[in-house]
Structure 1
């Protein structure tokens, strides 16, 4: 995930004209490489790794041994991304809202386990088998609504966009916390206290300060993403109700 990696291939999608990977050995297989890369990305705050570090972790001398199984660094990223797409599910036979809700909630679970997935979802096309299965399942559940193809896909992409946008924010925050050494919310709040005191004294942002000083601002309730997902689905319900047509 860094530009310093040397790629023997052009960076094309692994799904395009990919040769069959070599026979698995005791040390290497496509599955083992993908699993090790995902574990390494999970451990790094920014979700980045180099092919050389991955090769070392797998006990091989050169990254070239890995390329025989995955084609290129981009090919490996495609395989990693599609592996996570396989963790998203769509409720079947319970209506469009349940279908999109399970897709969104399982997607949020997935990006919390693998924050780097959100970045790959924006940078690598979702053309792997798991991604295609996910889209097919979601579109199938929307089909009875009689919406046109573009509107059905926009409904799916609206929910996934919320998942990936929230996941990217999570990744960036995790990267920031690791960089500045503020790992908990308490540490972060203590660090910004002097600045917020100056903002309050200036008196220019009273509504923001009222929120900051409200002891109930973090009151127990639905998880933030769950609430946002419900808002998104409420909005899509208006699209469904008018048959996908634009408002007058």
Structure 2
């Protein structure tokens, strides 16, 4: 792998290494893990925030992905705060644990996917608790949230998360994978930081991440970008962040 200027992003033993991947590849690896765990048993899958929208041009159809991988034997439930396409049950994932259990019915889940939802919840720590409760021991969770993204009220927009923030929310989970991805349609690239082949959550990794995903423009470049916008933009900063999502794959420890 090389950087934008062509310099190799290799690392010696003990150094941080930037590893290129894609969201598609990471999801395939995750579904491999789920398949290996459930064996011949029909998997139970829960999608939190399943309602489809015309704005979701780059969103994956998880119901179709699960059906393609496991066939009709998979049991898939899509829940959302509001009724709509792809919603099986209305549910506030931040609700009291007892109410959430009653809404989901009997049985735990092998896999819970929650993408681009937590930033819209009033109490993401309650959502994380209920996701953990919904998983059977050894079950997997895939969480994706924005680190930087334009304000989007659906129905409102409250939070932004770092990978370390998600790790705190899902404290007690075994973290199997974490990576950064973008939001552009047709561009499926992702990156993670590793040290000696292992995920790295230390402060030094955070400093590298800061340099990778932030762009500071000089005054003239800043003015030129603002001048090309269709509507007025007010110049309050020369620092720009692209749309950037953080992704976490965790496993509830087996009992």
TM value normalised by structure 2 = 0.25
Tell me which protein shows more strand as a share of its residues.
Answer: 2
Flag the structure with larger Rg: 1
TM value normalised by structure 1 = 0.25
